Amino acid sequence: MNDIPLSHLLDVAICAAEAAGKHALENKERRTETNEDFAHDVKLVLDVESQKKAETMILSEFPDHGILGEEDETPNHNSAYEWVIDPIDGTMNFSHGFEYWCSSVAVRKNQKVVAGCVYAPDFNTFYTAHIEETAKVNGVPIQVSPTESLQRAMIFTGLSKEMEGSREPHLDMFRMLALNSKKVRINGAAALDLCRVADGTCDGFFETGIYLWDYAAAGLIAEQAGALMATYPRDGVPHGATVLCSNEHLIEGLRAIYTKCI
């Protein structure tokens, strides 16, 4: 089987992320049309429509590849390639008209992410990378921050959509993060947060209760910008994980917080 060039895979990831993101952006007036409403989350009609836009674009180029998306999946175990799609990451933000949201498309070959794009439509910004190329934002190379201690770091995090009960590891982790770093920010879109680690805007990322489609593309982009990723699968939650990401100086401090709280 001929390998598909990484540049071709990345081009398709960019086009698919743009197709999903542009559809949501151009239909913003419908942003509150809801399929399902949860205690700490919402599923939008535009989530489903935007994922379909990305899928159609991908399958027109690679009809036999598999699809794993937040809204639906079409596995194809006969193909080495699988596309991982979060059509609107930061759904709650999008539904409230808050600009911090994005569309994320990654492609895995034999379960390993090899290329990905995170597109932030309200900022007209494309974060891209493949495994043999440095990460870029709108075509310009990016790299992680040089911050050497958590006490001087700004860390992005989030609170899981599945928080239940009073004692939550998420809240324990948030407290530990807040006490052990200079500043913690909750923005509501993991994929975009990880891209801001990649471009050095923030110094690290830490979130439990997210999913492969939230971090597949942005995790590769962060790694190709010099970040280290630590991913801990969540027992009994398909594709669920806790994700830590930072430059080489901070990752052990983040890992220490995680191990104290689990």
- The distance of closest approach from Cβ of residue 213 to ligand LIP in the complex, given in angstroms and rounded to an integer, is 7
Q: CB nearer to ligand LIP: give 57 or 192.
A: 192
DSSP for 51-80 reads: HHHHHHHHHHH-TT-EEEESS-EE--TT-S
CB of 195 to ligand LIP, least distance (A): 12
Radius of gyration over every alpha carbon of the chain, rounded to an integer in angstroms: 17
Minimum distance from CB of 24 to ligand LIP (Å)? 12
Choose between 62 and 116: whose C-beta lies nearer to ligand LIP. 116
Q: Residue numbers of the site for ligand LIP (CB under 6 A)?
A: 70, 86, 89-91, 158-161, 188-190, 207, 210, 214
Nearest residue to ligand LIP, by Cβ distance, number only: 158
Closest approach, Cβ 15 to ligand LIP, in A, equals 20
Total Cβ atoms within 10 A of residue 166: 6
Nearest approach, Cβ of residue 239 and ligand LIP (Å): 12
Which C-beta is closer to ligand LIP: that of 4 or that of 210? 210
Closer Cβ to ligand LIP, 203 or 207, answer by number: 207
Please, which contacts does 254-262 make with residues 24 or more away whose CB atoms are closer than 8 Å?
A: 254/150, 254/155, 254/204, 254/206, 254/230, 255/230, 257/173, 257/176, 257/177, 257/180, 257/206, 258/173, 258/206, 258/230, 258/232, 260/176, 261/169, 261/172, 261/173, 261/176, 262/169, 262/232
Q: Measured from the CB atom, is 81 or 156 closer to ligand LIP?
A: 156
